[in-house]
Every structure is written in C-alpha cells, then in structure tokens.
Structure 1
Amino acid sequence: MRIIDAHVHLWDVGVVPLPWFREDLGLPRRALAETLGALLSASGVSAAVAVQAADSVAEAEWLTGIAVAHPLVRRAVLQYEPAPDLPLGRTAAMLAPAARHPGAPAVAGLRAAVPQFAADLSDVAGLDALATAAGEAGLVLELLLRPEQLPGAAALAHRHPATTFVVCHLGLGTADPGAAWFRDLAVVAAEPNAHAKTSGLVHPGRGPAELGRLLAAAVDAFGPDRLLHGSDWPISARHTPYAELTARIADALPPLSSADAAALWSGTATRLYRL
C-alpha cells in the first residue's frame, strides 16, 4: 500500500535560524531531507509534504528549493505571515504565477499557526482574506489550532466553501481530549471542505487504547477520504522512531476496507497536494 507522510518539518538552524528553536527542546539543529529520505525509504513511504517550521521568507526559499529537487520530499506548505496588501502573506511573491518563482510549483498550501489567538479566530489578521485568496489560487489552507478553536475553524470553512482546509494534528496534538473536543471535531468535519491530519497524536503519555479512540473518532467524523497520515517528524522522533510511529498509527486505526485505507494513507494527500 502506498504511504504519503503529509506532515514533516525540515530545518538547518545554522543556515536559516528558527526564532523558536532552543537547545533544551531536545530537537536536532539539522533536520535534513537526506536524513528524512532514508527514513522514508526504509519505511516504504513514497512521498512527503514538508511544512515550514517558522515564517521567514529565507526559510521558505530554502524549503521550496528542497521540495522542487528532492525525489521524496515533493511538496511544501509555507507558513502564513500577514503582510500589507498581500492576502497570501509575505511569501506571496513566491506563489504568484507572474513571478515565475522556481519554487512555486512545489508549494501546495499555506499554514496559519494560530493557537495563540482567540477561540473564534476573530483576531487573526487577514484570515478571511487569506482563505479567499488561497481558494482562488488553488492552495490548501492548513490550520494549527488548540482544541478550543475548532468551532472557529468550522465557521471559517463554512464562510469559504471554495477553499480546502486541513486541520493539523486533529486540532488536538498532545493535549488531553475532553468531551468538547470530540463534539467540536465533528462540527469541523460537518463542513465538506474540511480535512484533518492524524499527525502529532503519538507521544509517550498516550497509550494504544487512547490513540485508537482518537483515530476512531476522526475516521467516524471525517471519513478516510478526508483524513491524511502525518508523522510530525522530527518533533515526533524525540520519543518515537519513525518506523515505530507509522506502525503505532496502523495498529490503532479502526478496521478499514482496502479502499478506505488507501485513502487515508495516501489518496487524500495525493488529491489535496497534487502529488
């Protein structure tokens, strides 16, 4: 079965600094495509989507250069950073067809990292303009959220039915799910243009039964054809080796038909990210 990893990060802080990077986070200073490529090949993963780890234009240039040339890391999702008169943010010049930027063909979407904002997302600068512009450009709009923001994400998707949205980490990540999360995940999934990644769910404090409960809720809410597998490498590698993470997700998923499994593991990502 074909596998696509729809959520990895690459960086080299000696080349392009990351403002949030600290030595005490337990992360490597270099998370390179060569290292990831070996892991992908060893695990039978045929392609990956790299999500920009910070928000500088220099980093976006570096990342898209990799995605254009690498045989396995084939698409990039750039971080949205508001900019005056640029609905797609500071990297808009890279995305405009007229610019003919060499990295543009590898860019499949933008990510708005907004967990620090209000629950209804009303204070995220330019968010609705971004959603409109992303839809018009045929770009996926990813959302990095905290659980309380899921209803706001649902409302955003409802206002922009022509835009494809992807919620990273099921809007949960390592947080403890409460009844509200299960309810609100279904609210997001009720919007037909909303999708979600299973990335960021595996961590030492979450056992197989709990992981299975989260994945079952996601499959029930979205269906396999609106879910995407993602590893969150190298952040996940602090506690779980790459191959083990993939196996843990596979073991925890509810029973799926071959067609449904193919959709979750690769089909949805192939469609959304033009792989």
Structure 2
Amino acid sequence: MGGAGSGVIASGGAVDAHVHLWDTGRFSLAWFRPELGLPEVADAADLAERSARATTPIGPIAAAIAVQAADTTDEVRWLTALRHPLLAGVVVQYDPVAAPGSASAGVARSGVVRGVRVAVPGRRADLADVAGLDELCEGIGADGGVVEFLVRPEQLPAVGVVASRHPATTFVVCHLGLGAAEPDESWAAALAAAAARPNLAAKASGVVTGRADRRLRRALSVAVDAFGAQRLLFGSDWPMSARIAPYDEIVARTAAALPALGAAGDAAFWGGTARALYRV
C-alpha cells in the first residue's frame, strides 16, 4: 500500500472514518454501563439519519468505517454481517490476550474488513507487552489492510517504532493519540515523532470535548503540522461523541477548528485519505 495517504486521492464525498455500531441485546460490551448515557443499540440506520444533517467542506457524509467497540467473537460476527449503503467497511479489534487466535485473526481477510485495531492504552509505554504485535502487522500489511492503534500519548513514539519495523504496512492512530487528554507539549512532541514514519496516518476523531474549542484548535493545528492533511482523516466517534454534541455539531466544530487546508487538503482530510487507506 505504500506510504499512508500516498497515491491518487479518490473523490466521491466525505467519509467518517471512525464510528461505532453495537446492539447490547445481541452481545455484551465489557465497558458498557447505563450511567455512560449511551444507547443500548447504535445501528447504521440511526447513524445515517444523524449524519444526513451534517455537511462537511466537501459535501455530505457518503460513507463510514465502523470500528469494533469491544473484542468478542459474537460482536465480530454481527458487525461483519451488517449491510447498509453508508457502511463502507469494518475495523475489527485485536485481543492481545488471545493472540494469535483472537477474533480479529480469523476474519482479517473478510471482504468487509478493512483493518484491525490494537486498543492497548493500558499496556506499557513501549508496547513490549502486546503479544503477537509484529505477526499481526506483517499479516495485515500483506493483505493490504490497515493496523490502527488506540493508545495514550506516552505510547505514540512506540507506535512510530512499530511502523518503522513494518514499512509495507499502513498504520493509523485513533483520536490523534490524545483523546480527552490535554494537547500539551509532551503530546505534541510524541505525535511529531510518530508522524516521522511515512506509513503512519492519524484520525482526528474523539477530540471534540465539552471544553472550549481553543483546545480543539490546538490539537488539530499540531496534527496538521505533524502529518499534513494528506495523512489525516476525519472521524466523528459516534455515538460516543453524542454525549458531547449532536453529529452535525461535531462536524461543524471540527471544520471551524481546522487550520486552512485548501481545496486539496479538504478533499484529503474529509474523505480522500480514508477512501485510499480503507479501499472505499
């Protein structure tokens, strides 16, 4: 696949590269609790209704990538069986405890699966305790898929090291490696270190908070400086983001907080890079 975001940027409308879909009546989510204020069912039809109210600088949301919310086999089977015009692909979760026989390993070659997410913010900063990681990266890279990382800021340099060991694999950092943390100088330096790898991109997802948007502007400015628009992707993090604001407001606040990207940069950030990386 080459460098992240390399090659021709396809047209065809905006892409939300990070949403979650679930049905807690069909399978359990270990982290799900009623006090979180999240719906028990988050389905593609609901996503389509909410995203239809949003307009990005390149037009309406035309496609979405669903990222597995937990790591059970029942969830994988349900998610990969979903069919909806908006749903363009699925990223399944890697379970390092079960590696290499995790649920994701068995479906990585499925037609709807576009990649595997390594969600390890609770692991060591150097990621040395994530079992089977190099094997996973080699296998997904050979299939032309994407390896995503959900990590805390201190782990970002290690993600860059992993990317350097697997130059033929495309990597994507979720939530800018930031999430709800403060975009301080330590995070900015770690993000820049990771971005030095040309086969690594990042999602501007999960970074809209209830705090003042100067924080969001700071985070997006640092990300654009580190990656350029060609290696950044928009993600709403719906329905997690619905606790902060409606879908259309998440889009609008992200657009307002971004540095000026120009027409080509807007095309890449809001859809083109996601279309290239996830084969939309």
Give me the TM-score of the superposition, normalised by structure 1.
Answer: 0.93
1:213, distance to aligned residue in structure 2 (A): 1.3
1:17, distance to aligned residue in structure 2 (A): 1.1
Partner of 1:94: 107
Give 3-state SS (helix, strand or coil) of 2:18's partner: strand
Partner of 1:113: 119
The structure-2 alpha-carbon separation of the partners of 1:194 and 1:84, relative to structure 1 and needing over 3 Å to count, comes to closer
Partner of 1:227: 232
1:84, distance to aligned residue in structure 2 (A): 5.3
Deviations 1:60-80 (A, max 9, x none): 1111111xx210012100001
Q: Distance in 2 between matches of 1:56 and 1:192?
A: 32
Partner of 1:100: none
- Is the contact made by 1:5 and 1:230 (CA closer than 8 Å) also made in structure 2? yes
- Is the contact made by 2:99 and 2:131 (CA closer than 8 Å) also made in structure 1? no
Partner of 2:146: 140
Q: Distance in 2 between matches of 1:257 and 1:84?
A: 43
1:157 and 2:163 aligned: yes
Partner of 1:10: 21
Partner of 1:71: 85
1:62 and 2:62 aligned: no
Aligned residues: 263
1:36 and 2:25 aligned: no
Q: Distance in 1 between matches of 2:262 and 2:176?
A: 22
Pairwise mapping of residues 132-211 of structure 1 onto structure 2 (< 5 A)? 132-205=138-211, 207-211=212-216
Deviations 1:224-267 (A, max 9, x none): 11000000000010121000010000000001110111000000
- Is the contact made by 2:183 and 2:215 (CA closer than 8 Å) also made in structure 1? no
Pairwise mapping of residues 190-269 of structure 1 onto structure 2 (< 5 A)? 190-205=196-211, 207-269=212-274
Higher relative contact order, structure no. (Cα contacts within 8 Å, ≥ 6 residues apart): 2
Deviations 1:187-207 (A, max 9, x none): 1110000000000100112x2
Give 3-state SS (helix, strand or coil) of 1:124's partner: coil
Deviations 1:91-133 (A, max 9, x none): 323234xxxxxxx111000000000000010101111111111
1:177, distance to aligned residue in structure 2 (A): 2.2
Partner of 1:122: 128
Q: Distance in 2 between matches of 1:241 and 1:84?
A: 37
- Is the contact made by 1:3 and 1:266 (CA closer than 8 Å) also made in structure 2? yes
Give 3-state SS (helix, strand or coil) of 2:16's partner: strand
Give 3-state SS (helix, strand or coil) of 2:103's partner: coil
Partner of 2:3: none
Gaps of at least 5 residues in structure 2 are 1-11, 55-59
Equivalent position to 2:31, from 13, 20, 28: 20
Partner of 1:99: none
Gaps of at least 5 residues in structure 1 are 97-103
Give me the TM-score of the superposition, normalised by structure 2.
Answer: 0.91
Between the two proteins, what is the percent identity of the paired residues? 52
Deviations 1:24-58 (A, max 9, x none): 11111111111001112232210000000000111
Q: Over the residues paired in the alignment, what is the CA RMSD in angstroms?
A: 1.3
- Is the contact made by 1:37 and 1:73 (CA closer than 8 Å) also made in structure 2? no
Q: Distance in 2 between matches of 1:215 and 1:84?
A: 34
- Is the contact made by 2:115 and 2:145 (CA closer than 8 Å) also made in structure 1? yes
The structure-2 alpha-carbon separation of the partners of 1:78 and 1:84, relative to structure 1 and needing over 3 Å to count, comes to closer
Q: Distance in 2 between matches of 1:259 and 1:23?
A: 42
Q: Distance in 2 between matches of 1:202 and 1:84?
A: 33
